[in-house]
Amino acid sequence: MILETDNSTNVSDKVKAAWDKAPAGPKREGELKHYQEAEKARTAKNDADTHKALDAAKHALA
Which pLDDT tens digit goes with each residue over 20-32? 888 898 888 888 8
Q: Where are the domains of the chain?
A: 2-61
Q: Is the pLDDT of residue 48 over 80?
A: yes
Q: What is the pLDDT at residue 1?
A: 35
Average of per-residue pLDDT values in the chain: 83
CB atoms within 10 A of CB 46: 14
Q: What is the pTM of this model?
A: 0.75
CA distances from 59 to 18, 25, 44, 45 (A): 11, 15, 23, 23
Higher pLDDT, 4 or 57: 57
CA distances from 25 to 4, 10, 30 (A): 31, 25, 9
